[in-house]
Amino acid sequence: MNETVTENNERLLTAREVRDRLRLPLSTVYYLAKEGKLRGFRVGRSWRFHVSEINRIMQVDRYRHQAVPRRDEETTQ
Protein backbone atom coordinates (compact mmCIF):
# COMPACT_ATOMS: atom_id res chain seq x y z
CA MET A 1 0.00 0.00 0.00
CA ASN A 2 1.27 3.47 -0.85
CA GLU A 3 1.42 5.70 2.18
CA THR A 4 0.40 9.30 1.71
CA VAL A 5 2.16 11.83 3.93
CA THR A 6 2.07 15.60 4.27
CA GLU A 7 5.03 17.96 3.96
CA ASN A 8 5.69 17.58 7.71
CA ASN A 9 5.65 13.76 7.41
CA GLU A 10 2.22 13.25 8.96
CA ARG A 11 0.45 10.23 7.58
CA LEU A 12 -2.84 10.71 5.77
CA LEU A 13 -5.63 8.15 5.84
CA THR A 14 -8.17 7.31 3.19
CA ALA A 15 -11.88 7.15 3.99
CA ARG A 16 -11.66 3.34 4.03
CA GLU A 17 -8.80 3.43 6.53
CA VAL A 18 -10.82 5.82 8.73
CA ARG A 19 -13.80 3.46 8.43
CA ASP A 20 -11.66 0.58 9.69
CA ARG A 21 -10.15 2.54 12.58
CA LEU A 22 -13.43 4.08 13.78
CA ARG A 23 -15.55 1.02 12.95
CA LEU A 24 -18.10 3.09 11.06
CA PRO A 25 -19.88 2.49 7.78
CA LEU A 26 -18.08 4.15 4.88
CA SER A 27 -21.19 6.23 4.14
CA THR A 28 -21.01 7.65 7.68
CA VAL A 29 -17.36 8.65 7.21
CA TYR A 30 -18.32 10.52 4.03
CA TYR A 31 -21.35 12.12 5.70
CA LEU A 32 -19.32 13.32 8.72
CA ALA A 33 -16.62 14.70 6.43
CA LYS A 34 -19.13 16.58 4.27
CA GLU A 35 -20.82 18.01 7.38
CA GLY A 36 -17.45 19.16 8.76
CA LYS A 37 -17.74 16.94 11.83
CA LEU A 38 -14.78 14.86 10.70
CA ARG A 39 -11.98 17.11 9.53
CA GLY A 40 -10.48 16.10 6.22
CA PHE A 41 -9.93 17.43 2.74
CA ARG A 42 -10.63 16.41 -0.80
CA VAL A 43 -7.99 15.27 -3.25
CA GLY A 44 -9.90 15.12 -6.50
CA ARG A 45 -12.88 12.90 -5.71
CA SER A 46 -11.17 11.23 -2.72
CA TRP A 47 -11.06 12.26 0.92
CA ARG A 48 -7.91 12.33 3.06
CA PHE A 49 -7.72 12.63 6.84
CA HIS A 50 -4.78 13.38 9.11
CA VAL A 51 -3.98 10.38 11.26
CA SER A 52 -3.53 12.70 14.28
CA GLU A 53 -7.15 13.88 13.94
CA ILE A 54 -8.47 10.32 13.79
CA ASN A 55 -6.33 9.34 16.79
CA ARG A 56 -7.71 12.35 18.68
CA ILE A 57 -11.28 11.27 17.93
CA MET A 58 -10.47 7.75 19.10
CA GLN A 59 -9.05 9.12 22.38
CA VAL A 60 -12.10 11.33 22.98
CA ASP A 61 -14.41 8.42 22.24
CA ARG A 62 -12.45 6.12 24.58
CA TYR A 63 -12.65 8.73 27.36
CA ARG A 64 -16.36 9.29 26.78
CA HIS A 65 -17.08 5.57 27.14
CA GLN A 66 -15.13 5.45 30.40
CA ALA A 67 -16.71 8.59 31.84
CA VAL A 68 -20.36 7.80 31.15
CA PRO A 69 -21.83 5.13 33.44
CA ARG A 70 -23.83 2.37 31.83
CA ARG A 71 -27.56 2.40 32.47
CA ASP A 72 -27.38 -0.62 34.74
CA GLU A 73 -24.69 1.11 36.85
CA GLU A 74 -26.72 4.27 37.41
CA THR A 75 -28.36 4.67 40.79
CA THR A 76 -31.91 5.87 40.93
CA GLN A 77 -33.02 8.25 43.61
**For the segment 30-74, what is each residue's pLDDT rounded down to a tens digit?**
999 999 999 999 999 999 999 999 999 888 877 665 555 555 555
Cα of 71 vs its chain's centroid, Å: 26
More confident residue, 13 or 72: 13
Four-residue CA torsion sign, 64, 40, 53, 49 = positive
Strand partners, 4: 12
Task: Give me the CATH code for the 4-68 domain, please.
Answer: 1.10.1660
Half-sphere exposure of 32 (CA within 13 A, CB side): 18
The predicted structure's pLDDT at residue 8: 74
Mean pLDDT along residues 12-27: 96
Whole-angstrom distance, CA of residue 57 vs CA of residue 10: 16
Report pTM.
0.71
Cα of 72 vs its chain's centroid, Å: 28
The predicted structure's pLDDT at residue 69: 55
The predicted structure's pLDDT at residue 50: 95
Mean pLDDT along residues 13-29: 96
Q: In the chain, where are the structural domains located?
A: 4-68
